Structure 1
């Protein structure tokens, strides 16, 4: 399976108490472009959302398009009037179809009948993706639906080929493929790391795909069964974290666009017991918290983040030596893990 994925891509080329004084922290905060669109949607207006997504489609800004569509779909889970009106007035609008497809898959994902429901909608979201031309973002939805529907390898590879044909380095589609690989082969940590490292190596400088090994490291560290990734693959997990640290350094501090990378990086660094590196990423993150990955430990991601941050600060304050990287090979003290509570 791994060889087929790489060959195709190559051809395409627990609720916790919250510490005080955290009023400044923002959970899943939208950027300056998405925020006014969400305000308009809350008032039932879909035109700003249409304008924003049209611009990303026409300018081939696929990473922005993916993030904005995901945010709008999440908003539509509780406020659907604006999307329903949009669909009624423009039933063939590719941007409205993108959001509706994402929303449908997300809702079905939470159902006990997930596989059966997603098998029913996969042809629909696939047809919408095929009609979207060069846009790779709908294919992320298709790949997620196929994973949830437990599609066979041959079918998933066919869909994956369509995605990378449109954008060989789209991060969202690569995450979907990585998650499929992990789900289809539980415990296949080496294969997940191979896939992610190859994709990162081939990606342009500063591409989000450069951080795909970090996502693979997270998958390995949180998986049940298989080998002990923290022991067997320790060097590769550290290398994935180091690559993500370098990518984080290319973005300004307190940057909402980089919040997803830095929150995940902090989580992985704590799992690897690299306390000082994690503390530095927390500093760079500033007030921007993302639900993922903290929602993996319970239903209160904000509370989880705040508790972990408080623990890191306390541990750093009591550490005998705060110089250095915090990497286990450096010998610096301090052990706080993202799953300690």
Structure 2
């Protein structure tokens, strides 16, 4: 995957004005900063990883730090030598602790015994977050651990207060809180949308948390056994998608950083039967496919993406005389759904 990324990234940017061929699509491709660190980690070297994360901490790049730590922890699940060496040589390094905590929570979160396992490690994860100073990213990990451990509302709110005190608009911490709310109160779509809309309304125009209503819309649209929620909250779901479209527009085309936003936005737009808007986001994302959200119900997220993309293209091409965004209120909705494949 790394070789493919390094070989095709430059070509892909030049083709941003049209959909890239299926063979050039890249799954979870790292950006230009993360890619060299992953290459080094593949060779057992941790110094470039340490430099990357130290830079994000020094410059308070919390969204990048969160994303990089998550990706590095995922890499360490199959290739952990570099992380083990790093933690052995620098046990008090806050960046090594961050990746180690993320790796532990992710591993335990996939276990059949996740509740018991996460209850055991949550105090240590929380203690590490408390020792991290102004960094909000360890609190995102603590929030995820608390949710998996089945923490009560009072305990979760205590952790949440610590997180937002450090960064009131950190996207990852807000996603963790949204997921806790959805898990604690299944079917509480109105509450999830309320929380997400308030967070987005208070955030700067270019903040990633402006996309939180889109994440809430995804939660609403994919809730098991609650198909009626789409009709009840339809106007709010469309508003969430429209807000995310505006956020997508401020980012360059065919860039890996907004790829997850655009992949999620395309997924939601398809579910909302807005194929023309979905097609535009599929164009803007270029070759960059992210496992989330396409891995929701398949072991082949890339295959799912390609199937949905082909269906969207066919849907738009079958109505060449139509104009408009594909928004159902304009009478141009389609019927393609990611779950149909």
Q: Same fold (TM over 0.5)?
A: yes
1:129-144 equivalences under 5 Å are 129-144=129-144
Gaps of 5+ in 2: 1-19
Gaps of 5+ in 1: 1-19
Post-superposition Cα deviations, 1:177-231, rounded to whole Å, max 9, x if no partner, equal: 0000000000000000000000000001110010100000000000124572210
Instruction: Mark the CA change 1:254 to 1:86 in structure 2 (over 3 Å): closer, same or farther.
Output: same
TM-fit CA distance, 1:292:
0.2
CA distance in 2, matches of 1:234, 1:71: 34
CA distance in 2, matches of 1:22, 1:118: 40
Aligned position for 2:64: 64
SS of residue matched to 2:91: coil
CA distance in 1, matches of 2:253, 2:36: 23
Post-superposition Cα deviations, 1:109-148, rounded to whole Å, max 9, x if no partner, equal: 1110010000001001101000000000000000000000
1:1-341 equivalences under 5 Å are 21-226=21-226, 228-341=228-341
TM-fit CA distance, 1:304:
0.5
TM-fit CA distance, 1:297:
2.3
CA distance in 1, matches of 2:147, 2:226: 20
CA distance in 2, matches of 1:58, 1:21: 39
SS of residue matched to 2:339: coil
CA distance in 2, matches of 1:284, 1:21: 14
CA distance in 2, matches of 1:96, 1:340: 42
TM-fit CA distance, 1:321:
3.1
Cα RMSD, aligned residues only: 1.2
Q: Which runs of 4 or more aligned residues in structure 1 lie more than 4 Å from their structure 2 counterparts after TM superposition?
A: none
Aligned position for 1:5: none
Asked whether the equivalents of residues 187 and 225 of structure 1 are also in contact (C-alpha less than 8 Å), the reply is no
CA distance in 1, matches of 2:101, 2:126: 9
How many residue pairs get aligned? The number is 322
CA distance in 2, matches of 1:287, 1:281: 12
Q: Taking structure 1 as the reference length, what is the TM-score of the superposition?
A: 0.93
CA distance in 2, matches of 1:267, 1:76: 28
CA distance in 2, matches of 1:224, 1:23: 33
TM-fit CA distance, 1:152:
0.4
Post-superposition Cα deviations, 1:5-30, rounded to whole Å, max 9, x if no partner, equal: xxxxxxxxxxxxxxx95111010010
Asked whether the equivalents of residues 139 and 163 of structure 2 are also in contact (C-alpha less than 8 Å), the reply is yes
Asked whether the equivalents of residues 273 and 333 of structure 2 are also in contact (C-alpha less than 8 Å), the reply is no
Asked whether the equivalents of residues 321 and 332 of structure 1 are also in contact (C-alpha less than 8 Å), the reply is no
Post-superposition Cα deviations, 1:253-272, rounded to whole Å, max 9, x if no partner, equal: 10110100000000000010
TM-fit CA distance, 1:301:
0.4
RCO (CA 8 Å, sep 6+): is it higher in 1 or 2?
1
Q: Larger deviation: 156-165 or 318-327? A: 318-327
Asked whether the equivalents of residues 187 and 227 of structure 1 are also in contact (C-alpha less than 8 Å), the reply is no
Asked whether the equivalents of residues 274 and 333 of structure 2 are also in contact (C-alpha less than 8 Å), the reply is no
